[in-house]
Amino acid sequence: MVRRVEVCPYNEKWPEMFLEEANQLKIILGNNIVDIYHIGSTSVPGLKAKPIIDMMPVVKDINRIDRFNAEMHKIGYIQKGENGIPGRRYFQKGGDNRTHHVHFFQVGSYEIKRHLAFRDYLRFHPESKKSYGELKEALAQQFPYDIGSYIEGKEQLVKEIEAKAIDWYEGYFKGKQ
């Protein structure tokens, strides 16, 4: 079965869905977990998104995550290893009708800042949020059964927003110290 690329309006239930799942992960991971962040488009109020909750647990030791594969499987997750990003442990839930993605990173990973900067930049910059949402919606209509082309179509704008986001994020938090 080929998965349909679906982009829909923001759903007010997404933060609650994140919290429910985060609580389950905290129980499984115990004292290895430092924090869990809601990332991706479902974490940005008002942004059109694929209805999949992206979660980013930050852990003390990424290598310990492999020990939790069986427990993650019990709550519906399939482990995908690093899945193209060194230092990550990636899990998916929901099969062809995915509901959650979990991206584990170890404290100190650059990927943590990259994801949080992108999320927060979109939260504080409505013009970028709007153009990103409109592009995603157009690409989903253009490539309804081709996730690769959908992702490729977003790539340039994501890189542009990400570069601005990192600069903004570093400046924002530099001023908070």
Radius of gyration of the chain (CA): 16
Q: In the prediction, which pLDDT does 115 show?
A: 97
Return d(Cα 52, Cα 148) in angstroms, integer: 17
- Phi-psi region at 68: left, alpha or beta (left = phi > 0; alpha = psi -120 to 50): alpha
Q: What is the reported pTM?
A: 0.93
> What's the full length of the chain, in residues?
177
What CATH code would you report for 14-170?
3.30.460.10
- Quote the percentage of the chain above a pLDDT of 70: 97
Q: What average pLDDT does the segment 21-37 reach?
A: 96
The pairing of beta strand 100-106 with beta strand 53-59: parallel
Q: In the prediction, which pLDDT does 173 show?
A: 66
